[in-house]
Amino acid sequence: MCANTLRVLGNPAQIDIYTRRDRTAYTPCEQPFVLRDTMSFEDMFYATPPWFEKKNIGLHTERDVEAIDRERKVIIVDGQEVPYDILLINTGAINKIPDIPGLEGERVHYLTTELRYAKQIESIMPKGERVAILGGGVVALEMAETLVSKGYSSVSLIVSSENLLSQQLDPDMAAKLEPQVSSNGLSLHLSTSVVRAETVKDGVRFFLSDGEAVEADWGLIAKGIVPDVELARKAGLKIGKTGGIEVNQYLQTSDPSIYAAGDCVEDWYMVNGNKMITALATHSNRNGRIIGRNIHFGDTVPFLGSLNTFGTEIFGTTVVSVGMTENTAIREGLKVLSVVRKGTTRKKMFQGEDFWAKVIADPDKQTLIGAQMLGPREVSRIAERIVLMIGEEIPLGTISQYETIYSPPLSNAYDLITNEVDILISDLLKAGESVKWS
């Protein structure tokens, strides 16, 4: 995105991209959908080698960047020196490797952003009928659905947290999703961890903290990621407390000639500036465009931060989350008000569908700080409206007065989000607070 932005702006600089992968310019989030035959590996690519040639961008695949010499402004690539004026680091993230005895061997696999690992999983899927997945995040759930669609007779999710999608959903919202997951043939083991594993004939046995054992033909580890900062660390660049590369508002590292983007960067929450890691495709995409503009215009476009805007579809239910969960806000010492309600996208006679929404507010600032929804795909569009409400810190009293689009075939005259905001306002008034109406 950075390289393309520079070319769109008419920047004539020499641009070279170095990657250890054999191919690049694809969307890793699409891998589970390739594995369930919804799309092909080729469908994942948004740019091909001829595109790079047309843009006059040097693409160097299967090249290993070993080191950065900041004093001499060169990178070491497979033992050779390559000079730079400005450098962008986008090394991504690596899988968390759990410290579990016996968790190794050819029957234990990780799904990463590299396609070769997805192709390995593609090759082993037809050879099994039982899988154990360690993790309860989006990759774990999407892969679980993939394996169910492939006819697996046993899919076990072993989740150390108390609920699924614990980074995106509070327990009260996850509780509305979990029965649907279970009804589709998944065996859920919540608040449970694997204490050890062992290879057995034709499979792997996982021993759980609750005393149970799960036997499977193979295991998939989806315990999250950590920023890949080794190259930056060796170069002496500052690493933040979250483990990501520290950057300023223009996404420059501690060396002004070096920028960093994507999953390897320490991000911050847009509203309060608290540091975080945001491993989202849209986050990386925006980072690249901002850096391209700053290289071209000279560090004038600040990165605003992230709202950790998330969405996925699990067994036909769209799950979206924006901003903080209630649990996160409480951990960070905030007072919160929240409300959970069920509504419909429109009246049933117009094919309206049910959905659940939770909104979370800061009673002191009287602004929304988070939202979660479960329902049809339409909820993702509703959530995008809330992104601006949170990011711009629009007062609840103002949100309540916003008009919304209404026609019986399209929506409801009193939409669910406005209704929930009005409930929060009523809670403030009952507590004797003076409401900010604008």
Mean pLDDT on 20-30: 92
Report the distance separating Cα 83 and Cα 85, nearest Å: 7
N- to C-terminal Cα distance for the chain? Answer: 38
Mean pLDDT on 101-124: 91
For 113-117, 379-383, 395-399, which range has the lowest pLDDT when averaged over its residues? 113-117
Give the pLDDT score at 438. 81
Architecture of domain 316-430: 3-Layer(bba) Sandwich (3.50)
Report the distance separating Cα 95 and Cα 109, nearest Å: 11
Give the pLDDT score at 393. 96
What average pLDDT does the chain have?
96
The CB-based long-range contact list for 282-290 (8 Å cut-off, 24+ gap) reads 282/309, 284/1, 284/90, 285/1, 286/1, 287/1, 287/251, 287/261, 287/262, 288/1, 288/2, 288/3, 288/4, 288/5, 288/90, 288/261, 288/262, 289/1, 289/2, 289/5, 290/250, 290/251
Above pLDDT 90, what percent of the chain?
95
In the block, residue with structure tokens 């769209």 = 318
pTM reported for the whole predicted model: 0.94
Above pLDDT 70, what percent of the chain?
100
Residue 202 has pLDDT above 90, yes or no: no
Q: Which two tokens mark 156? A: 């076990």
CATH of segment(s) 97-223: 3.50.50.60
Give the pLDDT score at 87. 98
Report the distance separating Cα 310 and Cα 372, nearest Å: 9
Residue 285 has pLDDT above 90, yes or no: yes
Matching fold, domains 97-223 and 316-430: yes
Residue 90 has pLDDT above 90, yes or no: yes
Mean pLDDT on 234-252: 98
Give the pLDDT score at 190. 97
Give the pLDDT score at 111. 86
Mean pLDDT on 96-106: 93
The stretches of 299-377 forming alpha helices (DSSP H) are 326-331
Mean pLDDT on 374-382: 97
The residue ranges of every structural domain in the chain are 97-223, 316-430
Residue 201 has pLDDT above 90, yes or no: no
